[in-house]
Structure 1
Amino acid sequence: MQAYEYKIVPAPRKGHKAKGVKGAEARFALALETVMNDFGAAGWDYMRTDILPVEERQGLTGRTTTFRHLLVFRRPLSPNGPEDTAAALPPSGAVDAPPEEASTGASGAQRISSDSA
């Protein structure tokens, strides 16, 4: 049975400016492409994008439900045990999300076993 390590990151909220990239859609596509290429270069395979509800505080006593777009990546665990995930992650500025949204623990990865290959 193959074991995998998963990394969940918030999708970019706004586009990146670059020379020759015009329009909001093209800038957003560039931001998403950059995040996906950075994680791919670090050995992570893109799985899917999920939209999940999050209940957040609004004011002193109110609560509201918002939806977050999350990118799901995975990579196989080595047979010798977990690798040093901090060394294999893209730079911390790869995703432009507030720290409370991007924090997923010390290594930023969740280990899960899976039957599928």
Structure 2
Amino acid sequence: MHKPNQIEGLRFRLVLKPGFALGPGKADLLEAVAATGSLASAGERLGMSPKRVWTLTREMNEAFRAPLIETEKGGSGGGGGARLSPLGEEVLARYRAMERDATQAIAAGMDALRSVLR
């Protein structure tokens, strides 16, 4: 799983409006849904409870003009699933690009601070 924010010392979190922020946990969930095609599998991959996965999904889907994660009910025969909507793909790509840019922007400062640690 992609976690440059923790490796580089940056936890990149965007407060997009009062009461809603997009940060590493939500971005990781979007990425895991894209990779697995399942909310349950995404949650397992990230060590998130099903309740947490549904809470984050609902928060993101309600915050944006269209859902970021689209779901299909499985029923007794299975067949359900989840995927990123085109807007979800765009939001994830934009977030990851901003995260990379921010990490690069602070790299020299991080190196300087680390050089004076014990």
**TM-score over 0.5 for the alignment?**
no
Task: Give the number of the structure whose residues are more often strand, by fraction.
Answer: 1
Task: Give the number of the structure whose residues are more often helix, by fraction.
Answer: 2
The alignment's TM-score, normalised by the length of structure 2, stands at 0.29
